[in-house]
Structure 1
Amino acid sequence: MSVEQALHEAQLQRQVNALIVAHLRDHNLLQAANAVANATMTPLNVEVPSNKLMDLVLKGFSVDRDENPWNANATIGMDILGVGGTTYVGYGPLQSIPHKSWDFSSTKTKGHSKIFPKHDTRHISEHKNAARCARFSPDGRLVATGSADTSIKLFEVDKVRQMMMTDAVGRDGPLRPVIRTFYDHVQAINDLDFHPQSSVLISGAKDRTIKFFDFAKTTAKRAFRVIQDTHNVRSVSFHPCGDFLLAGTDHPTPHLYDVNTFQCYLSSTVQDGQVEGAINQIRYASNGGIYVTASKDGCIRIWDGVSASCVHVIEQAHSSLEVTSANFTKDQRYILSCGKDSMVRLWDVGSGQQVKQYGGSQHDQMRCQAVFNHTEEFVLCIDESTSEVVVWDALTGEIASRFLSNHSGAPRWLEHSPSESAFITCGNDRSVRFWRETF
């Protein structure tokens, strides 16, 4: 090897080490970042653009897929699910979507709040019993709803848009945005999630099962795989790579499943008595390095995505009352939570300190959630007392808008699209409504 080659490889190694240290540090994995920094003599405060390592890895995967189109290993998490790598048209591995990271902890947030755009709404379907949950696909092209009637409905968002823009009646009759309906549970459905790459939808239900549905098959009505849990499955979340999934259940500790083997893992570092109460919601961060649980015992817990150990507990997060939801921001720096104290709160992941709170709505009965809009400029939740949708400016904490939900009674679930100014509401009146910005 020539001197020039040796110097080049050494420089490349230093750059790789810097990327790894910065990635671990920026995603709050400080213990690991310190270990790598000390072992490689890399400064812990090395300056690297945010998510640079993720962007480079994504580009590498794209090149690998282009050069090896028949390589089964080039598409993660598809063949193991038994769907032969089939993907819904236009639905597959996602490109990195640029987004602005907001510094919610900044004190310079006074002033006029942003104006939340007006939205049109349309009743798009109805279940036979309460509509309990909804979830958009990662690309925003599909949305699924789950009901107490044990059914799951899958909608194509483009068809919903067409329905809203026209009278939705053609030569073949009315336009129907429901493209699939699944029936395979025997009790109410609590939560849904889409696989990050393949055409698979999972559901968690009171019948203690997690079921896998292949929505690429037009005739499929039943699940092609089933995980039998030991408890009521309240919440489910796929790891971003698709090889693992989390289940939040009536058991106080998260259940981590390997999608290849269906083997269940429980944290070995959590002792009996350290956690109490069922898990209302569980969600991975966008890189899978950490995940969060919102529990009936009033705590928000942050867990290490590799060791499954609890690394931080925010106690009495909602005045000792039940925490009903918890979600990460896209940059994983903050957690947005909702609780039965009728408050929505924003927490700094690194310190566990509250940085914002959003008040002025009542939600002390149902297991509702608070969500960001797709740009994270606004926070949305419901008001059970008035059956309204309430919107806050995420930076100032001031109410930016509130409007009637058009449900009979308050909607019990609200889910925002990850890709556009649109969201869905559903509730005990069995109806599903789609909301889209007025143009």
Structure 2
Amino acid sequence: MGGVEDDEPASKRMKLSSEELRRLSNGSTIKEPVAGSSRDLMARPLQSEGGEEVVGSKGVIKKVEFVRIIAKALYSLGYIKSGAHLEEESGIPLHSSVVNVFMRQILEGNWDDSVVTLHNIGLTDERTVKSASFLILEQKFFELLDEEKVMDALNTLRTEIAPLGVNDSRVRELSSYIVSPSYCSPTRSPKQGTVRARSRSKLLEELQKLLPATVMIPEGRLEHLVEQALVLQRDACMFHNSLDKEMSLYSDHQCGRDQIPSQALQVRLCSANQIFFCHEVFSTILPVYTSLESLFKRLLGSENESGKNNLKLSKKIAYHLYEIQCDFLARMLVSLFEAGECPLISSFIGSHRFDPRIIKISLQVKVMAIQSILQAHTDEVWFLQFSHNGKYLASSSNDQSAIIWEVYETGVSLKHKLSGHQKPLSSVSWSPDDRQLLTCGAEEVVRRWDVSSGECLHVYEKTGLGMVSCGWSPDGKWIFSGLNDKSICMWELDGKELECWKGQRTLKISDLEITRDGKQIISICRETAILLLDREAKVERFIEEDQPITSFSLSRDSRFLLINLLNQEIHLWNIEGDPKLVSKYRGHKRTRFIIRSCFGGLEQAFIASGSEDSLNIAYKFLRWVYIWHRGTGELIETLPGHSGAVNCVSWNPANPHMLASASDDRTIRIWGLNNLSTKRKEPCSNGIHYCNGGY
């Protein structure tokens, strides 16, 4: 490749000695020019205004820098000959001759000469020269000790290292090695199992980091630039929510809206028993009869004979159904399922299974992914929260019970129903290891449960007072609870009260959070203010809002707080140092109830919230779940489905494609991806790469 005429015999192509290859692997270059090749006939790069050649359509990439970085990458990847050919053919050396000499002196251990050469490289910053000299002489010092030349090492320390005036504490540390050489720093001493040559290579890497990039190109510079570009593309992607970390270099990265959970994952039937059905969306266009027969056999098992006589479609309606479009038919059938009309559908299929028009109607696949409604609570569901590991979901209700659900890829199933509270349950809280769960009755008691057995392990109560919130210390050793006298208490697991912060620390309707370092307790202390109490430093900070606060949520990294306000806004605050308002989210409705929001998605890049607004669809009022992009504040998705106010949402921390919502309609919905559009697409010809099914 390059360096010779294209038609020159292979036997005449340049061969490199092993010594030259060794030097090249360390960044040395070959200086002899070569004749031009047919590649010289290719289009010349643009010229910058200053006379320097540039490449690229924007005219901002200097050709010399570009070629040098590519050559550096080739050497780093082990393509020694290719790197040398690139230097030779382009006439652009990776490093200057002085730098090549300097690097060779370092690797050969010519310390005194290398210090002299360092001063001749052309560095203008005296501090950089001294710091680099310090590193070189420090290596010299250790190698002298390794050779048991203690007096020479002492002389180097006194006459060469100390006069530099760099890092006096390190100089004192080095002097201790004269007395006890066995205490040599493991990062420096060749005695610590690192061969001398490798130690010198490590020194060269540190010098590369210290010296200007124009002198010595940093290791991995091309990789860094490419990674930086990929990360910027990913961060600019509004819908990026994929667990797939691979990104293509062949095209620009862009995810589709279908990376956001927007389809429910299970179907509720009106039955005394809790039955949860999952079905695959049809992946090809099939005759309606074949598709529906297979579907109903899976979902119903057998026809419900008892309901046949009571629920039949008239012939006229049936024939009308035959003629409607496939998407509408699919939606109607799912609506019948949600209404519990299994016998009606069974009757319809049974009565017309041989009609040729059924066989001719095709059901298009993109309509219904997977639907899910969970109905086990007998009253409004007020709160829900996924466990930290994403394996469980806990919900609490006005029916005075809590439920632990076991989470699967396609939905959840009931594990334990927790009974014992005498009042509605306002909140739940998972232990750090997810083995235990706290439930808080509204102005009642806090109970601690074993997740595996469903057994109540302890009841926390205070005579004459009621609990309004609960939380865990990060190590799981203590329990925190807010009380209706506006105080906050800390308990040991066995119920011993350790501390109580009295005064206006919390409100009756309040959330309670403890930061992941365990130092700060966060609570609503006044109608329009949130308290951040440092329990160790005894310092209080406040977030002041203009509107009454109804709820808040803490980010996983404890750096941000999401605050729901009475005026139908959600505010994002950075609570590191002095609290700062970062962003506002609007669009949802809140008129009477407490509506909760949450962080979620990959790297918690999204904000989700419940709402009270509704949309009349076919005489059925549907309430919405709202999803915003956290960084831009743009509303990117609304999920209709609940028939009552959506009180709370929770995003699975282990699965960015799973979201749960709780509603006054007594149900929980588990939202996931539309499986029809999650198949990976090939990069498009326009240079855009779609992640898991963008559009």
TM-score, length-normalised on structure 1? 0.66
Per the TM alignment, residue 129 of structure 1 is displaced from its structure 2 partner at its CA by: 1.2
Give unpaired runs (5+ residues) of structure 1: 12-109, 165-175
> Partner of 2:571 in structure 1?
345
Per the TM alignment, residue 296 of structure 1 is displaced from its structure 2 partner at its CA by: 5.2
Q: In structure 1, what is the Cα distance between the partners aligned to 2:465 and 2:565? A: 23
**2:546 equivalent to 1:313:** no
> Partner of 2:609 in structure 1?
381
Q: Deviations over 1:171-209 (max 9, x none)?
A: xxxxx8101111111111111112222621110102521
> Partner of 1:407 in structure 2?
642
Q: Is contact 2:482-2:506 (8 Å) kept?
A: no
**2:470 equivalent to 1:236:** yes
**2:371 equivalent to 1:371:** no
Q: In structure 2, what is the Cα distance between the partners aligned to 1:235 and 1:276? A: 9
**2:456 equivalent to 1:223:** yes
| From 394, 417, 420, the counterpart of 1:144 | 394
SS in 2 for 1:128: coil
**Which amino acid is the alignment partner of residue 542 of structure 2?**
V
> Partner of 2:383 in structure 1?
133
Per the TM alignment, residue 235 of structure 1 is displaced from its structure 2 partner at its CA by: 2.0
Q: Is contact 1:337-1:346 (8 Å) kept?
A: yes
Matching of residues 65-84 of structure 1 within 5 Å: none
| From 251, 262, 282, the counterpart of 2:512 | 282
**2:555 equivalent to 1:329:** yes
Q: In structure 1, what is the Cα distance between the partners aligned to 2:185 and 2:671? A: 54
**Residues 389 and 203 of structure 1: CA distance in aligned 2, closer, same or farther (over 3 Å):** same
Per the TM alignment, residue 242 of structure 1 is displaced from its structure 2 partner at its CA by: 0.2
SS in 2 for 1:384: coil
**Residues 415 and 305 of structure 1: CA distance in aligned 2, closer, same or farther (over 3 Å):** farther
Per the TM alignment, residue 241 of structure 1 is displaced from its structure 2 partner at its CA by: 0.4
Matching of residues 71-150 of structure 1 within 5 Å: 113-114=238-239, 115=257, 117-121=260-264, 122-150=372-400
> Partner of 1:418 in structure 2?
653
| From 478, 482, 487, the counterpart of 1:253 | 487
**Residues 417 and 181 of structure 1: CA distance in aligned 2, closer, same or farther (over 3 Å):** same
Q: In structure 1, what is the Cα distance between the partners aligned to 2:648 and 2:586? A: 18
> Partner of 2:95 in structure 1?
none
Q: In structure 1, what is the Cα distance between the partners aligned to 2:483 and 2:443? A: 11
Per the TM alignment, residue 248 of structure 1 is displaced from its structure 2 partner at its CA by: 2.5
Q: Is contact 1:188-1:207 (8 Å) kept?
A: no
Query: Alignment RMSD, CA only?
Result: 2.8
Q: In structure 2, what is the Cα distance between the partners aligned to 1:177 and 1:7? A: 60
Structure with the higher helix share, 1 or 2:
2
Q: Is contact 1:227-1:262 (8 Å) kept?
A: no
Q: In structure 2, what is the Cα distance between the partners aligned to 1:198 and 1:389? A: 26
| From 355, 376, 393, the counterpart of 2:582 | 355
Between structure 1 and structure 2, the one with the greater Rg is 2
SS in 2 for 1:332: coil
> Partner of 1:199 in structure 2?
435
**Which amino acid is the alignment partner of residue 325 of structure 1?**
S
**Which amino acid is the alignment partner of residue 378 of structure 1?**
F
SS in 2 for 1:177: strand
Q: Deviations over 1:42-76 (max 9, x none)?
A: xxxxxxxxxxxxxxxxxxxxxxxxxxxxxxxxxxx
Q: In structure 1, what is the Cα distance between the partners aligned to 2:435 and 2:506? A: 35
**Residues 292 and 194 of structure 1: CA distance in aligned 2, closer, same or farther (over 3 Å):** same
> Partner of 1:70 in structure 2?
none
Q: Is contact 1:390-1:402 (8 Å) kept?
A: yes
SS in 1 for 2:388: coil
Q: In structure 1, what is the Cα distance between the partners aligned to 2:451 and 2:507? A: 34
Q: Deviations over 1:401-432 (max 9, x none)?
A: 1121x111221111111111212111221112
Per the TM alignment, residue 264 of structure 1 is displaced from its structure 2 partner at its CA by: 4.5
Matching of residues 52-67 of structure 1 within 5 Å: none
> Partner of 2:23 in structure 1?
none
Per the TM alignment, residue 234 of structure 1 is displaced from its structure 2 partner at its CA by: 2.5
Instruction: Say how many residue pairs are matched.
Output: 315
> Partner of 1:42 in structure 2?
none
Per the TM alignment, residue 379 of structure 1 is displaced from its structure 2 partner at its CA by: 0.5
> Partner of 2:632 in structure 1?
396
Per the TM alignment, residue 214 of structure 1 is displaced from its structure 2 partner at its CA by: 1.4
> Partner of 1:183 in structure 2?
419
Q: In structure 2, what is the Cα distance between the partners aligned to 1:400 and 1:332? A: 25
Per the TM alignment, residue 113 of structure 1 is displaced from its structure 2 partner at its CA by: 4.2
Q: In structure 2, what is the Cα distance between the partners aligned to 1:276 and 1:242? A: 22
Q: In structure 2, what is the Cα distance between the partners aligned to 1:341 and 1:233? A: 27
> Partner of 2:530 in structure 1?
300
> Partner of 2:180 in structure 1?
3
Higher relative contact order (CA 8 A, sep 6+): 1
> Partner of 2:670 in structure 1?
434
| From 439, 442, 447, the counterpart of 1:211 | 447
Per the TM alignment, residue 156 of structure 1 is displaced from its structure 2 partner at its CA by: 0.7
Per the TM alignment, residue 276 of structure 1 is displaced from its structure 2 partner at its CA by: 6.9
Q: Is contact 2:473-2:518 (8 Å) kept?
A: yes
Per the TM alignment, residue 120 of structure 1 is displaced from its structure 2 partner at its CA by: 1.8
Q: Deviations over 1:325-350 (max 9, x none)?
A: 22232332221111212111011212
Q: In structure 2, what is the Cα distance between the partners aligned to 1:4 and 1:326? A: 58
Q: In structure 2, what is the Cα distance between the partners aligned to 1:333 and 1:209? A: 30
Q: In structure 1, what is the Cα distance between the partners aligned to 2:539 and 2:483? A: 16
Q: In structure 2, what is the Cα distance between the partners aligned to 1:280 and 1:182? A: 22
**Which amino acid is the alignment partner of residue 647 of structure 2?**
R
Per the TM alignment, residue 119 of structure 1 is displaced from its structure 2 partner at its CA by: 2.3
SS in 1 for 2:511: strand
Q: In structure 2, what is the Cα distance between the partners aligned to 1:213 and 1:346? A: 32
Structure with the higher strand share, 1 or 2:
1
TM-score, length-normalised on structure 2? 0.42
Sequence identity of aligned pairs in percent?
17
Q: Is contact 1:146-1:152 (8 Å) kept?
A: yes
